[in-house]
Amino acid sequence: MSSPVTITVLVEDSVSRPILKAEHGLALWVNTGAKHLLFDTGQSDLLTANAQKLGVDLKNINTMVLSHGHYDHCGGLADVLANDGGRIRIYTHADALLPKYQQSDSGMRYIGMPAHCLKALRRHEGLQTITAPTEIDPGVFLTGEIPRVHPEEEGQGTYYRDAEGRQMDPFSDDQTLFLRTPVGTVVVLGCTHAGVINTLDYICHLTGGQPFQVILGGMHLRSASDERIAWTMESLRRFPIEKFYPVHCTGMKAVAALWATFPGRCFPCGVGTSMNI
């Protein structure tokens, strides 16, 4: 990819400007010059409200990616598709459409795609489900299913595919977006349920070891132990990474560890942040 890339944060757990609002979720606008891509949709219609305030016209979307099937990444989907007419190409894993539950102290709760979004997605003509690495636009790729090779990243909490808690969710639908640019690979993470080190190792394999220019997104370390965070920081040292933009489910302890481990290379990334690459 030779054209400049601009990434704008439309939904995240924090804001960078007072006119905008935050929620627990993620949505990113990726402009490659020739194409406009929406990565995830947050959990509500806040996506459309923030986009309007930021001057982002969601009618220009060519491609949409759903990183996995949780409500906080898919909840704004129906609003985006309301006036689409089937022209947007939507990429996700088939398992993103399955039921998803989480066990907590207050009981089992549904955390999958909201019913109205699931209905809109299933009837959309542009839906494409993938499992293998796929170039979805020139220079823009999805990993497909990510191999799990590091036992340190096993165990993502009490997540299930059924309300009775009999079938653990293996997160086969967890996928990551990456862009190959002249200055290095730009990685866009959803929640990284497959593990951030598993994910980066796999992308290194797919790109032939191209250095990473940007790592942006959720690393799912919010509930991780101190040992897991320390292992992750040490493992990240193996990769040539220019800039980190940790957001969403990364968690404050892990964000603090990133800033301490990689001084001068970590940056805040609330709603409204826009970066040119």
What is the CATH number for 59?
Answer: 3.60.15.10
pLDDT for 2 equals 63
Cα–Cα distances in Å, from 89 out to 37, 131, 153, 188, 235?
10, 16, 32, 18, 35
Q: Is the pTM of this model over 0.95?
A: yes
Identify whether 174 is part of a domain.
Answer: yes
pLDDT by residue, tens only, the chain of 277 residues? 667 899 999 999 999 989 999 999 999 999 998 899 999 999 999 999 999 999 999 999 999 999 999 999 999 999 999 878 778 999 999 999 999 999 988 899 999 999 999 999 999 999 999 999 999 999 999 999 999 999 999 876 689 999 999 999 999 999 999 999 999 999 999 999 999 999 999 999 999 999 999 999 999 999 999 999 999 999 999 999 999 999 999 999 999 999 999 999 999 999 999 999 8
Are 69 and 173 in contact by the 8 Å Cβ rule? The answer is: yes
Element (H, E) at 259: helix 252-261
Identify whether 141 is part of a domain.
Answer: yes
Identify whether 1 is part of a domain.
Answer: no
Identify whether 52 is part of a domain.
Answer: yes
Which structural domain, as residue segments, surrounds residue 237? 6-276
* Sign (positive or negative) of CA dihedral 89, 95, 97, 103: negative
Identify whether 147 is part of a domain.
Answer: yes
Identify whether 264 is part of a domain.
Answer: yes
Widest distance between CA atoms in the chain = 50
Cα–Cα distances in Å, from 223 out to 47, 114, 250?
26, 24, 9
Total structural domains within the chain:
1
pLDDT for 136 equals 96
Identify whether 170 is part of a domain.
Answer: yes
Element (H, E) at 201: helix 196-207
pLDDT for 203 equals 98
Are 228 and 205 in contact by the 8 Å Cβ rule? The answer is: no
